With several copies, the nearest count.
Chain A
Amino acid sequence: MTGEGPSPPGRKILIAEEGFSMDEAIEAVKRDDAGAVVAFIGTVRDDGIDSLHLETYKEAAEEELLAIREEALARFGLLEAVVIHRSGRLRIGDEIVIVACSAAHRREAFDGCRYILEELKRRAPIWKKEVGPAGERWLEVGGDPAHDPARGREVP
């Protein structure tokens, strides 16, 4: 299921210890029958912090991301989807995550990308600790209060 495609390292889902190439992730979802690619890139925002430490339950996170990806492919008619999430220590501006999706048309690509992102935040066992002048702080809530998982499950 994860071994069929091109880079990033031939995998659709990756918890990455190192930085990743946005171009490669986008190239990996392009297909001749797709007219639309939507990519979300989350970056470390300067909120007065020095760095962000990402901790993951790697095996469980990859399983969850694979499941979320499969759901999105089926529910939104995506043609391809790649998710890469960093772990480890990041600095301001570094990429945390990329969710890249392709579809025949733009609506599915937007909706599928957003679904994967919201479900990732809600379900994937990943944690963030902000490290700043005032000390360290675990961020405890990742989900968007406006996101309704039930609604997200419907094919639009």
Chain B
Amino acid sequence: MLVHIRAFASFREILGKEADLEVGEGSTVGDLLEILVSSHQGLGPAIFEEDGRLREYVIIMKNRERIDSLEGLATVLEEGDEVAILPPVAGG
């Protein structure tokens, strides 16, 4: 199934602005990030701690909802979902 990936600011410079990615049925957000890390140099250390947890200041959204308020990296993806990868915000 296809999911839509969006990345912003410094993460956009690593990942590109947006892309559709083919992932297996039942894939989680964690699975998706592993795929992205394996194919984009520099992304791993930018979003993960050494112990494999997501860095505290990195925000991942599924369909504009933070995965913190879903099931985190275990959040299951469905066809057409939009996953956004956000560095620390700095508006205003």
Contacts and interface: CB of A to CB of B under 8 A. Distances in A.
Given A57-B84, A59-B64, A140-B87, A125 B92 contact: no
B27 interface: no
B86 A125 contact: yes
A125 B8 contact: yes
Interface string B45-72: 0000000000001010100100000000
Contact of B91 (A63, A127, A129, A140): A127
Interface in A19-71: 42, 54-57, 59-61, 63
Interface in A89-130: 96-97, 117, 120-129
Interface of A: 42, 54-57, 59-61, 63, 85, 96-97, 117, 120-129, 138-143, 149
B89 A127 contact: yes
Contacts of A127: 8-10, 87, 89-91
A60 B61 contact: yes
B4 interface: no
Interface of B: 6, 8-10, 12, 57, 59, 61, 64, 84, 86-92
B26 to A, nearest CB: 26
Nearest to A117: B92
A124 B92 CA distance: 9
Nearest to B17: A55
Given A117-B92, A123-B89, A149-B88, 8 more contacts: A55-B12, A96-B92, A121-B89, A121-B92, A127-B9, A138-B90, A141-B88, A143-B91
Given A55-B8, A125-B59, A141 B90 contact: yes
